Structure 1
Amino acid sequence: MMTIGTPLMWLLFAAFVLVALLIDFYALSRRGAQRVSMREAAIWSLIWVAVSFVFVGWLWWYLGGTTGDPSAEATAQVKAFEFVTGYLVEKALAVDNIFVFLLVFTYFGVPGEYQRRVLMIGILGALVLRAIMILIGALLIARFHWVLYVFGAFLVYTGIKMWRAVGEEPDLESSTALKWIRRHIAVAPGFDGEKFFTRVDGVRMATPLFVVIILIGIIDVVFAVDSIPAIFAITTDPFIVLTSNVFAILGLRAMYFLLAGMHERFHLLSYGLAIVLILIGGKMLLVDIYKIPVLWSLVATAIVLAVSMVLSLYIPAPAHVTNAYPFSRRTPREKGETER
């Protein structure tokens, strides 16, 4: 499969990701179990977005965007548009991912000061999982062209399903994964700091935080299944696919603390995401009939997401949407119920 990624570019990108994770881990270990303020979350969110656009600016320059060579400039422009479009789609999907994380944290009553560590582990898992699935997806597309149609049909189906599911109350209690965990793992009735395992009356048990880690991992898998076909609908270049995914994920932890509790404010975003998935799925299904320019995809994605967020600010959330994400209410664990 054709890619702009040279060994040097892959090496530099891997080094950057490693440094970024080390900085995040170092900041996490220094602060320990502390809540993240809105101010800190906003600053880090802006930093990650700025870094992402610095990267695409460097990519445009590196590919010859300023050389005066029409061929090089065209390539640089297309790849820059592909990155930004993929980044926007993955970032928007990550927002939806964040609200599911918040649902899990609320259900288990995870204190804010313990959520940082869980999110960091979840991000590491997401990075590894995305890299593996992108490699598999790239190999499949390179060998079997018809896989593009499978991805396209899946995205259209996912978009329709997402549209219909808006406002439905997520039911963790009936989750197959949670039921399996309860049957096979002894779970302590309460937290023990940031520990994943503890002893209760001499018996070694998993803490609720360990259960949360498992569920976050499962959520990562589910969202990766949605997001990987979405990015391949925009570009099949493995370097652009992976970099846009990784940059969208790197800011996930800060964005979580920034957006926590704001789902009702952006209640129409899920509709916007559904439309975007249907559009890019349709783009993939038409790939051999008419190749829609990347710029059109970028403009359509940006407009749909922006309109859905702006309208969310002016149109009150219906009661059924508000009740579907009751983050402000106390959870059963906080009320002292111990059935889990």
Structure 2
Amino acid sequence: MNKLFGGLGIGHSCSVQLEFRRSGGGGVPTAAVKSTRSASRRDETEDLPVYRSKDTVEGEVKITPIPGKRVDHAGIRVQLVGEIELASERGYPHEFLSLVRDLAPPGDLPSQQAYSFSFDNVEMQHDSYLGLKVRLRYLLRVTVARGLGQSTVKDFPFWVRNHSPAPPRGEPIKMEVGIEDCLHIEFEYDSPAFHLDDVVIGRIFFLLVRVKIKHMELEIKRRESVGAGAAARSESDTVAKYEIMDGAPARGEVIPIRLFLAPYDLSPSVDSVHNRFSVKYFLNLVLVDEEDRRYFKQQEITLYRAEEGAGDGAAKGGAARLPRGLVAALPEAPPPNPVAAA
């Protein structure tokens, strides 16, 4: 059984505790996630019960009056809520899921009372998400209804993680970047789609090098778009930054890319969730020359959560730093085509 969550509400005459349970016995799996309670605590983590869509969410609620007090109430209920909250609409979340179970009719609480509840086969199609400007969360809200604004309301969050079938593998990504008569490189990634424990495999070909390159790095960037149409606003952050080369390359050199995704805080790519927000990911290849000029090329990728054991490149450990460059014999390079500096 999971640890009891809850406490005494300030100014209220009873405390509320909730325990997540499984009908077959035992506890609900938990995961350490960034704090969902306030923006100021997002560097902290908390252990939350984890569910998937179509799971049954059940447990027990305990209501305990303050010793020596008898609590009259107008009913006790528990509500399963799914909501999306935007930073621009703080305090006014969009509720897309609401299920209610009445636990007790109007009456009084002379002593501690326990109530079991169950929400069967709940459709929770969206993953929980905590981003820069938006959060999608699920919670159980227990209400001890009383008059004159004295109701006790307590929220108990939980996390939802759904698995997706692997999208079609698709053709490898092949692109080029450069400056006319100065730099011409081609790079490729083996696939445009990766699961969250996957490994990004790729390589970079230097076809023309007349610029003194200092180093090269690969970034994973997340773009969060909030709103729709003309009102849409986007914000990007760098989730990971990994140096793949240090020093000046030679013409004909090949640099391998092997980037493990498991150590990073990633979520599946989503598009227009209830017309409220989208999340996209990009691989950003960055070259820096000795004058600190930056050349980059960005490519969108699709991330998804695979069933455990379903990914054939899953990696649980961190990505070790790779040695610089692998020199390989390339076929004779065609004359470089002028390309614009990114």
- Which of the five TM-score ranges fits, normalised by the shorter chain? under 0.3
Per chain length, whose mean CA-contact separation is higher, i.e. which structure has more relative contact order (CA < 8 Å, sep 6+)?
A: 1
**TM-score, length basis structure 1:** 0.22
**TM-score, length basis structure 2:** 0.22
Quick check: which has more Rg, 1 or 2?
Answer: 2
Greater helix proportion: 1
